[in-house]
Amino acid sequence: QVQLQESGPGLVKPSETLSLTCSVAGGSISNSYWSWVRQPAGKGLEWIGRIHSSGSTLYKPSLKSRATMSVDTSKNQFSLELTSVTAADSAVYYCTRPPGGWGFMDVWGKGTTVTVSS
Amino acid sequence: DIVMTQSPDSLAVSLGERATINCKSSQSVLYSSNNKNYLAWYQQKPGQPPNLLIYWASTRESGVPDRFSGSGSGTDFTLTISSLQAEDVALYYCQQYYDTQWTFGQGTKVEIK
């Protein structure tokens, strides 16, 4: 049973870079797609982007200029970096697994809360 | 982007009664080559991540109680809880994955009347 766990700073200053890592347990990160979704407090879900273990990526257009995803197969982890953050980037960030890359997400991490504030 | 619109925003249903949530996409999410609707439903309880209930519009995820069912095609979809239980109080989201840019509905809150 694959489990996901997000990690990273809970507080990021405006204009700085948000960096999160998702650790994959109970399975290999290889030959699979992985994704990030965020949810501002009290609001709905926003898909950020996805990455294949080969490194190919696809981002939400409105975030494309600021988001970078990467995979470290040796550590069974994948990561998200979001540059030039503002308060609007404050949210719970979830890493997820979309099996086969289809788009529905069957495994979610518990989420990590990121607050952008000085 | 495909815009997903859910209705209602919230509903209160008596225990044991039927709850129905609607989801409408701004364009069809039915892929004609395989006749599949690229539509999923999730349940989210407070303080928890979303939990996949339904994919391909009507395929129940393993372990999901059979009181949850999904239906619809093209642009109009429904999630039905046939007999509402106390543990079903939650937010429910639809999501399309027809487009390369995956998008969610705004969510529907289900409460007990």
Distance CA B17, CA A80 (A): 43
Q: Does B2 contact A at CB distance below 8 Å?
A: no
A102 to chain B: which residues are within 8 Å by CB? Answer: 38, 55, 97
Average pLDDT of B88-105?
97
Q: In chain B, pLDDT over 90 holds for what percent of residues?
A: 100
Q: Does B95 contact A at CB distance below 8 Å?
A: yes
Asked if residue B98 lies in contact with residue B32, where contact means CB atoms within 8 angstroms, the answer is no
Q: Does the structure show a pLDDT above 90 at A101?
A: no
Smallest CA–CA distance, residue B49 to chain A, in Å, is 6
* Structural tokens at position A5: 């766990």
Residue A7: alpha-carbon gap to chain centroid: 10
Q: Do A44 and B93 touch (CB under 8 A)?
A: yes
Distance CA B55, CA B43 (A): 12
Task: Determine the residue among A104, A108, A113 to mutate to test chain B binding: the one whose Cβ has the most chain B Cβ atoms within 10 Å.
Answer: A104
Q: Do B50 and A111 touch (CB under 8 A)?
A: no
Nearest CA in chain B to A6: B49
A58 to chain B: which residues are within 8 Å by CB? Answer: 100
Q: Does A72 contact B at CB distance below 8 Å?
A: no
Summarised one tens digit per residue, pLDDT across range A59-81 is 999 999 999 999 999 999 999 99
Summarised one tens digit per residue, pLDDT across range A26-51 is 999 999 999 999 999 999 999 999 99
Q: Does A104 contact B at CB distance below 8 Å?
A: yes
Summarised one tens digit per residue, pLDDT across range B75-95 is 999 999 999 999 999 999 999
Mean pLDDT estimate for chain B = 97
Closest to A59 in 3D by CA, of A37, A42, A40, A74: A37
Asked if residue B97 lies in contact with residue A104, where contact means CB atoms within 8 angstroms, the answer is yes
Closest to A93 in 3D by CA, of A76, A77, A110: A110
Give SS3 for A67.
Answer: strand
Q: What DSSP element (H or E) covers A58?
A: strand A57-59
Other CB atoms within 10 A of residue A82 CB = 23
